[in-house]
Amino acid sequence: SQQGEEDPQALSIQEGENATMNCSYKTSINNLQWYRQNSGRGLVHLILIRSNEREKHSGRLRVTLDTSKKSSSLLITASRAADTASYFCATVRAYSGAGSYQLTFGKGTKLSVIP
Amino acid sequence: DAGVIQSPRHEVTEMGQEVTLRCKPISGHDYLFWYRQTMMRGLELLIYFNNNVPIDDSGMPEDRFSAKMPNASFSTLKIQPSEPRDSAVYFCASSGSWDRYGYTFGSGTRLTVV
């Protein structure tokens, strides 16, 4: 089942602009991850943010997490044509038993950066 | 490290045939996952292993699907018999931790059942 829901489904911006994608989820989580997928390729991990963290940065990426609202956002600053891809959030929730956890992906946001 | 290696990259088979997808995870990663991606359903977790033991196979569609991990460096996903609705991209991913690191995905196997 899909836990994370990205918004918007598609986003088109000019090169140099910032891109913001949002993710909402339904149950409590242990961590939330963002991935990028270029057309026809596998997913690439971008950032992992734990439930006790509020913000994380990696290069031009900034991720925020608001557990009270069950939402996260991914900001890409100064976008480039090479950022064109689909972006997915994935939530991780541990449940009973050692090594038992659930990771579910949203359906993604398709970002197009126009040169 | 060469990353997660999947084979074959593409597979076209006739309905009713057996299909075997293969995955070599990153050495030292304790977790291995099989996902399926389609336009309609997005990314679906089929099964995952921890230390070669299947932990959660609730995502396996039906008995036609089976997965094994005979050792830490190899896993297979088998579909027998295959059906056209199994057409999808199948990804294998591995991770060293469920809480500290993200997953490393393979390039996927694009399966077409005609």
* pLDDT for residue A99: 58
Mean pLDDT of the residues in chain A: 91
pLDDT digits (tens, 9 = 90+) for A54-86: 999 999 999 999 999 999 999 999 999 999 999
Band of the pLDDT at A13, cuts 50, 70, 90? very high
Residues of A with CB under 8 A from a CB of B: 2, 30-31, 33, 35, 41-48, 50, 88, 92, 94, 97, 99-108
Q: How far apart are CA A108 and CA B11, in angstroms?
A: 26
Which range (A72-81, A94-103, B34-43, B68-77) has the least confidence?
A: A94-103
Contacts A41 to B, Cβ<8 Å: 107-108
pLDDT digits (tens, 9 = 90+) for B23-61: 999 999 999 999 999 998 899 999 999 999 998 898 998
Whether the CB-CB separation of A36 and A87 falls below 8 Å is answered with yes
Q: Is residue B1 packed enough to be buried (19+ CB in 10 Å), middle (13-18) or exposed (0-12)?
A: exposed
Question: Which structure tokens are listed for A15?
Answer: 């090169």
C-beta atoms of A42 and B105 within 8 A: yes
Band of the pLDDT at A1, cuts 50, 70, 90? very low
Dump the DSSP string for A47-92: EEEETT--EEEETTEEEEEETTTTEEEEEE-S--GGG-EEEEEEEE
* pLDDT for residue A98: 54
Sign of CA dihedral A99, A101, A107, A108: negative
